Amino acid sequence: MKQNIYDHPEFFHQYQKLRQASYNFNNLLEQPALKSLLPNLTDLQILDIGCGMGEFAYYCIENNARHVTAIDVSKNMLAIAQREHAHQNIDYYLQAIEDFRAVIRNIASMLRPGSLFIFSVEHPIVTARKTMEDNWIYDSSGRRSHYAMDHYHDEGIRERTWFVDGVVKYHRSMSTIINTLIAYDLTIEKMLEPLPDSEAIPKLPSLEKEHRRPSFLLIRARK
């Protein structure tokens, strides 16, 4: 059974506070990178997997997509999406996401020829080490010296403390991610390990470390 941490009351309360902040990693780093990979959305039909609170689904409609089917495992997330980002051309569904290989297989089977599959994951550099806590190594003055990575090829579950204990994540190597796409006849067109732009770092100084270790990997592939 997949972990549904977003319906944990304390976790969700803290996560909402994070997302409601004026500046965060989502709106200054991940979303700009994701949107840069999008085609012209006019008249397209979109499947938004892991739609969260519905911001991206609504963005697609605002940019002239014909329809968005948006799914998420979290009742909390969907309740907010249906309240704050409702639209007649968005359908929200409660649905768990399968394991990575099964997800890619099913997406590839649904895509029409020429369709795009665009997604974002935590970078394998971040998820590799089994402790998954603060993996920065600091010098004697408290400055970041370097980032520690280990267990890269030992794929599987990782647990970390993020607002609450026992948050489950999954580590896959870069080669597993890429080769799974290739196995299901998806052609990789572009990859991004996004960097903050010059205006983002003054708004959120912690983004500076992205120049030393990427947080996200984004891929655009075509059927």
Domain that holds residue 162: 5-37+98-222
* Selection from 98, 91, 56 nearest residue 73 by Cα: 98
Number of domains in the chain: 1
Is position 56 within any domain?
Answer: no
What pTM did the predictor assign?
0.93
In a domain, 15, yes or no: yes
137-159 average pLDDT score:
95
| Cα-based angle 49, 170, 144 (whole degrees, multiple of 5) | 110
In a 10 Å sphere around its CB, with 0-12 CB exposed, 13-18 middle and 19+ buried, how is residue 137 labelled?
exposed
Structural domain includes residue 181:
yes
Give the H or E element holding residue 121. Answer: strand 116-122
Task: Identify the pLDDT of residue 75.
Answer: 95
The CATH code of the domain that includes 172 is 3.40.50.150
In a domain, 165, yes or no: yes
Residue 64 forms part of a structural domain: no
| Per-residue pLDDT at 1 | 46
Radius of gyration over alpha carbons of the chain, in Å?
18
Tokens matching residue 86: 């409702």
In a domain, 88, yes or no: no
Higher pLDDT among residues 33 and 131, named by residue = 33
Per-residue model confidence as pLDDT tens digits over 8-27: 889 988 999 988 899 999 99
Does the residue 83 lie in any domain?
no
74 within some domain: no
Quote the CA–CA distance of 29 and 200 in Å, as a whole number: 8
Confidence of residue 3 (pLDDT cuts 50, 70, 90): low
Amino acid at 197: D
Q: What percent of the chain has pLDDT over 70?
A: 99
116, with CB counted inside 10 A (0-12, 13-18, 19+), is middle
